[in-house]
Amino acid sequence: MSDMVVAGNITAWQKEPANQIIPSSFPLLQSKGWKKKIKRKEEPSNKPVKEEKGAKAEADNENNVSSNQARSLPPVEENWKPQVQRNSTNNSTHSSTTGPLNNSLPEKERQHIAERLLRVMCADLGALSVVNGKEFLKLAQTLVDTGARYGSFSVHEILGNMNTLAVKHLPRMYNQVKVKVTCALGSNICLGIGVTCHAQCIGTDSCYILTAYQAECNQIKRYVLGIKDVDNRDSGEFIHQWVQNVLSEFVMSEIRTVYVTDCKVNSSAFSKSGGTCLRCSACSLNSVVQSVLSKRTLQARNMHEVIELLNVSEELAGSSGISKETFGSLEETSPPPCWNSVTDSLLLVHERYEQICEFYSRAKKPNVIQNLNKHLLSNLAAILGPVKQAVIELSNERKPTLQLVLPTYVKLEKLFTSKANDAGVISKLCHLFLEALKENFKVESAHKVAMILDPQQKLRPVPPYQHEEIIGKVCELINEVRDGSEEGEFEAPTKKPRPAAETTKVQDDDRMGKNEVYDYLQEPLFQVTPDLFQYWSSVAQKHVKLSKLAFWLLAVPAVGARSECVNMCEQTLLIKRRRLLSPEDMNKVMFLRSNML
């Protein structure tokens, strides 16, 4: 099992011989097309240059630079720097969609380039999108510009293996980006960040992704700090230790932290270290649905018609007749990757019911949908649709979401309660959903405080008897943000003997903080959904303590997994299986990939 901390210890699979020269990780840079002679510098002693054979010799002769223009070859690093100035005639970039191509390039050369591009694409189908990307074009332009300045040369002879070159300069670039990330996290104005530690499964394998969140310039900024492949033998304490080791390289020990983890992580380990650990809301709602609609639960309660409906829906959803290519996508926004609900097939069948019936009628296969209980399908969709929609809203990656957790709980609780009075199997299911909601979807103090910080909600979603309790939590947390040396999060600071003058000052601060909270709550509710960070920036002078608290908590996501997690884990596991990089270099590459752009 690898310890994939950015600068962590080397363990089991790290001890295996790692191939530092990556045979296939960057195939489009290693293809023969890149060994084309761009230009070769003439020697000062005017030694004759060996002529190349065939078309290559002609291309070299066209591009040769006279000996009086010869310059010394710059350091390798210079070859990777983007050129500030371009020749307006020869080097200007044109798009087929924005304007005509520059016809100064001979058609023969254009065909030769196209042939090389096709060879690259055929060597690796993944390059179809890469070769038109800005980084590939910058690399190609840099090679062309270098040849124009220093004469004809062979890329392979001068630069050597491209993978080796990249790995050689990987530590330097990693350190540069690491310094930027550390400085960004160190400039936190409220001494508080959010940290997600969430696993993503890829087949039988999975890995954890550790990400830090904070508010910067009225936006949520995230930094991927580490990736670690998961071993089923790893305990919650081991994961916690890995998280703490990685965080210690980037943030100060006194920074306030709210953790968001999946259900596999033992939250008690994080709580012992003084942090607050919240469960991923998407994982929680997924557990609610899975616990009610599992075959074991349904069989124990003799709900065979529900089992049959789920089986038929899954069969229909998996058939070619209901594919997204046939009827289009169900939704514009997808749920997070940790949402893997058995309800997706049922909701898809309900959404496309008319098209499905028409499709199988034309195919003369009406028996396929005869076993579909339309009435039960509609009732279940009315229950499960709002659950999935709640998951999508809570996983919004562009806006604060922590303040939505408690209102979501209240909304779903009301939904299940209203349906619990219906007759038949729906009533039984709603009672089960209510029990599962209370057991699996926990609302913590951090969720309650975040809700108050939304000027459109404040205390409106909760009953009056809970108001004083929540206000008390806000006041406690304001004091903790004020005094970063305290260790308890969302708990009253430890009382220590203090001089009388200091005690009086603390009491005055407590009173001022409480007055600030009540002044804010007495202001009228917003009638439209505000930009929360923009709002708290505008009232920062008026509500000093609350604004700092808002910039901390509202940057913490409700869901720990993001849309790009699947791709990151796929690449990480692929590099590991093929031993394309050492574990340490792999972490550095993934760190750069996530934080450099």
Greater pLDDT, 73 or 445 = 445
Q: pLDDT confidence of 235, banded at 50, 70, 90?
A: low
Burial of 472 (0-12, 13-18, 19+ CB in 10 A): middle
pLDDT at 447: 96
Sequence-ordered list of residues with C-beta below 8 angstroms from that of 459, at least 6 positions apart, any chain: 451, 452, 466, 467, 470, 521
pLDDT score, position 503: 64
pLDDT for res 484: 45
What's the confidence (pLDDT) of residue 261?
92
Q: How confident is the model at residue 401 (pLDDT cuts 50, 70, 90)?
A: very high
Q: What is the secondary structure of 285-318 as a DSSP string?
A: HHHHHHHHHSHHHHHHTT-HHHHHHHHHHHHHHT
Q: What is the mean pLDDT of residues 452-473?
A: 94
Q: What is the pLDDT of residues 97-117, one digit of tens each?
A: 444 555 667 788 777 777 777
pLDDT of 127: 67
pLDDT at res. 13:
40
Q: How many CA atoms lie within 13 A of 345 on its CB side?
A: 16
Token pair 């303590």 is at which residue?
A: 545
Res 434 pLDDT > 90: yes
Two tokens at 503? 């005690």
Instruction: Judge contact between 300 and 320, C-beta under 8 A.
Output: no
* Average pLDDT of span 522-531: 88
264 CB-contact burial (10 Å; exposed 0-12 / middle 13-18 / buried 19+):
middle
Q: What pairing do the DSSP bridges indicate for beta strands 219-229 and 205-216?
A: antiparallel
Q: Model confidence over 119-140: pLDDT tens digits?
A: 776 666 566 677 778 888 888 8
Instruction: Give the pair of three-digit tokens for residue 306.
Output: 């529900």
Domains and CATH numbers, the chain: 24-160 (no CATH), 172-280+564-595 (3.30.420), 284-445 (no CATH), 454-553 (no CATH)
Picking from 315-324, 381-390, 467-476, which range would have the lowest pLDDT averaged per residue?
Answer: 315-324
Name the residue with higher pLDDT: 347 or 158. Answer: 347
Q: What pLDDT, on the 0 to 100 scale, is given for residue 51?
A: 41
Helix/strand/coil for 10: coil
What are the contacts of 486-494 at 24+ separation with CB within 8 A?
A: 487/274, 488/274, 489/256, 489/257, 489/258, 489/274, 489/275, 489/276, 490/276, 490/444, 490/445, 490/446, 490/449
At 331 the pLDDT is 54
Percent of the chain exceeding pLDDT 90 equals 37
Categorize the per-residue pLDDT at 511 as very low, low, confident or very high, splitting at 50, 70 and 90.
Answer: confident
d(CA 369, CA 77): 65
Residue 151: what pLDDT?
81
* pLDDT for the residue 452: 96
Which pLDDT score, from 0 to 100, does residue 91 have? 43
Percent above pLDDT 70 for the chain:
72
Instruction: Please list, in sequence order, all residues whose beta carbon lies within 8 angstroms of the beta carbon of residue 392, skipping any fewer than 6 positions away.
Output: 331, 333, 334, 335
Specify whether the backbone of 274 is left (phi greater than 0), alpha (psi in -120 to 50) or beta: left
**pTM, whole model, 2 decimals?**
0.75
Rounded to the nearest 10 degrees, how much is the dihedral formed by the CA atoms of 327, 329, 330, 332? -150
pLDDT of 174 reads: 92
Helix, strand and coil content of the chain, in percent to the nearest 5, comes to 55, 10, 35
pLDDT tens, 287-299?
A: 999 999 999 999 9
> Per mean pLDDT, which range of 34-43, 253-262, 499-508 is the poorest?
34-43
The pLDDT score that the predictor gives to residue 119 is: 76
Residue 58 has a pLDDT of 44
Max mean pLDDT among 61-70, 101-110, 220-229, 568-577 falls in 220-229
What is the average pLDDT score of the chain?
77
Do 177 and 596 touch, CB atoms closer than 8 A? yes
Q: How confident is the model at residue 240 (pLDDT cuts 50, 70, 90)?
A: confident
The pLDDT of residue 26 is 47
What is the C-alpha radius of gyration for the chain, rounded to an integer number of angstroms? Answer: 30
Closest CA to 146 of 39, 33, 30, 28: 39
Query: What's the Cα-to-Cα distance from 562 to each of 325, 330, 596, rounded to whole Å?
Result: 25, 20, 18
Helix (H, G, I), strand (E, B) or coil at 205: strand
Cβ atoms of 229 and 2 closer than 8 Å: yes
Which letter does DSSP use for residue 39 in this model? Answer: -
Residue 341, C-beta contacts closer than 8 angstroms, at least 6 positions apart: 286, 289, 290, 384, 388
- pLDDT, residue 223, reads 95
- Within 64-218, where are the H helices? 107-123, 127-130, 134-150, 155-159, 162-168, 170-186
> Would you state the pLDDT for residue 225?
95
Contact 393, 331 (CB under 8 A): no
Query: Please, are residues 412 and 437 in contact by the beta-carbon 8 Å criterion?
Result: yes
DSSP string across 413-473: HHHHHHHTTSSTHHHHHHHHHHHHHHHHSPPPHHHHHHHHT-TTTTTTTS-GGGHHHHHHH
Residue 215 contacts residue 551 (beta carbons within 8 Å) = yes
Higher model confidence: residue 298 or residue 156? 298
Q: Are 347 and 335 in contact (CB under 8 A)?
A: no
Which residue is listed with tokens 């007749």? 321
Residue type for position 209: I
Mean pLDDT of 563-585: 86
Residue with tokens 């959404």: 351
Q: What is the mean pLDDT of residues 367-392?
A: 90
Q: Is the pLDDT of residue 362 over 90?
A: no
Residues contacting 170, CB < 8 A, separation 6+: 585, 588, 589, 592
Tell me the two tokens of residue 211.
Answer: 């990400």
pLDDT-based confidence at residue 64 (cuts at 50, 70, 90): very low
Average the pLDDT over 526-530 and give the result. Answer: 84
Q: Pick the closest to residue 471 from 536, 406, 518 (CA basis).
A: 518
Sheet holding 219-229, edge to edge: 219-229, 205-216, 192-202, 256-261, 276-279
Q: Which has more pLDDT, 392 or 102?
A: 392
Highest mean pLDDT among 63-72, 164-173, 327-336, 400-409: 400-409
Q: Are 552 and 190 in contact (CB under 8 A)?
A: yes
Q: Take residue 409 and report the two structure tokens written for it.
A: 């709980």
